[in-house]
Amino acid sequence: MNPVAQGSLANLRSRIAGIEDETELRRWSQHLASDPRAGARRLAEQCLRRAGKREAAQRHLSELLERREALRARGVARIAGVDEVGVGPLAGPVVAAAVILPDRVDLLGLNDSKRVRPAERRRLAAAEAMRRAVVELSASATPDHLLVDARRVPGVDVPQTAIVHGDASDASIAAASIVAKVYRDDLMTRLDTRYAGYGFAQHMGYGTERHLRALRELGPSPIHRRSYAPVAEAARA
């Protein structure tokens, strides 16, 4: 039976809103396209666009999982993605995460959470945070292989692969990047109430004009990094 028959446009719009399956969306599009109402035909076009976006996202996710699936085909069971955030900001911690995705991954839209190019001395601090993340993960599920964004994790006895721009090309690293960013953003939001006036909840410690102005007016807080030039200058003022 045609599901469009006798349905009001409001009711059809409500029913379609909850559909996530691409095949079902295309089926609805076919039914709606034959409806004489202009509103129904617009809904048919919306269904086609949504189906196309989901199919593109599914292809992208499959591409992000290619390295993991190649390792699994070689018998590597637990593959952890490792990434960090917070190397560039003037304030707040570096946060790293290590993530082992489940066998079935249904995370359409998974992608990198940031793009950073830290200096070599800052990368040392980030590598230590990543080592700790791997050690913590090992307490519950020891990884058999690490996929790491653009570097190697020192001090861990686990085979690993460094992938340039890994947070944009590998699902496990992208997941770790997102976990780390969400955790750090939440932490900076909470620190904003402790150290009021700097705007940490808005810029997350990055060197925005508002942050630099507050730094000049208030001086550094305990969570500012004195090794960074703007902070050092504010401390001397």
Q: In this predicted model, what pLDDT tens digit does every residue of 46-63 receive, in sequence order?
A: 999 999 988 888 888 889
- For residues 4 and 170, give the distance between their C-alpha atoms in angstroms, rounded to a whole number: 41
What's this model's pTM, rounded to 2 decimal places?
Answer: 0.75
Report whether pLDDT(103) > 70: yes
Taking residues 97-126, report their average pLDDT. 58
- How high is the pLDDT of residue 125? 40
Range ranked top by mean pLDDT from 31-35, 96-100, 112-116, 160-164: 160-164
Residues belonging to the chain: 237
- For residues 79 and 77, give the distance between their C-alpha atoms in angstroms, rounded to a whole number: 6
Phi/psi of residue 4, each to 5°?
-80, -25
User: Domains along the chain?
Assistant: 9-61 (no CATH), 67-229 (3.30.420.10)
Taking residues 7-36, report their average pLDDT. 87
First to last CA, the chain: 77
- How high is the pLDDT of residue 121? 30
- For residues 56 and 73, give the distance between their C-alpha atoms in angstroms, rounded to a whole number: 25
Convert the pLDDT of each residue in 74-90 to its tens digit: 999 999 999 999 999 99
Residues 6+ apart with CB under 8 A from 80: 98, 99, 100, 134, 137, 143, 145, 146, 147, 172, 176
- For residues 162 and 165, give the distance between their C-alpha atoms in angstroms, rounded to a whole number: 9
Over the chain, what is the mean pLDDT? Answer: 86
- For residues 43 and 13, give the distance between their C-alpha atoms in angstroms, rounded to a whole number: 7
